[in-house]
Amino acid sequence: MSAVHRSIGNVMVLLQRPDDGWVLTVRHRETSWHSPGMLTVVGGRLEEGEFLDEGAARELAEEVGIRLAPDRLRFCQLPHFHAADGERVIGAVFTVREWEGTPYNREPQTHSELVWVDPAAPPPDCHPFTLSVLTHFATGQLYANVIAPQLPGGETG
């Protein structure tokens, strides 16, 4: 019997428009337990056996339908998240500025829309972790310790 896989690694992809550098985000449905109504960058937890770049490429394909080889992703940030509930997660953030196809919402049961945002001026309805990732990306910060506040309604970041 194999042990249950539990990753402490998250992967995120900042899909950037080549003309203005804006980043694609996804808005979670109001019914989401994780980020109700909030914008997050494309990403999620690693799956068993994945390397960071492989997981990031998988999440990009799963969430917004953009398929590319993991070696086309460029590492841009390593945040260490401390959630209000005590969970600790390491995140690897990648960026990509060139891709084929048009992003679309592949997870309508989870996300209500796709939204392009200026990473230098993220909207206030970003999840606290996303806000931090975008802010650090815009300023060129490669590593960050991020402590998320308790969200309204008792949820944690």
Per-residue pLDDT tens for 95-137? 999 999 999 999 999 999 999 999 999 999 999 899 999 999 9
Give the other-Cβ count within 10 Å of 146's Cβ: 19
CB 56 within 8 Å of CB 92? yes
Percent of the chain with pLDDT over 70: 90
**What is the residue whose two structure tokens read 């042990």?**
3
When pLDDT is cut at 50, 70 and 90, the band that residue 156 belongs to is very low
The whole-number pLDDT of residue 1 equals 42
Beta carbons of 122 and 139 less than 8 angstroms apart: no
124-153: average pLDDT:
87
Provide mean pLDDT across the span 50-54: 95
- Mean residue pLDDT across the chain: 90
Instruction: Domain ranges for the chain, please list them.
Output: 9-150
Q: Say how far apart CA 80 and CA 146 lie, in whole Å.
A: 6
pLDDT-derived band at 39, boundaries 50, 70, 90? very high
Q: For the chain, what percentages of helix, strand and coil (3-state, to nearest 5) are there?
A: 20, 35, 45
Cα angle vertex 59, ends 54, 64, to 5°?
A: 135
pLDDT at 8: 74
Confidence of residue 150 (pLDDT cuts 50, 70, 90): low
pLDDT confidence band for 89 (50 / 70 / 90): confident
Task: Please determine, looking at this structure, whether the domain spanning 9-150 carries the CATH number 3.90.79.10.
Answer: yes
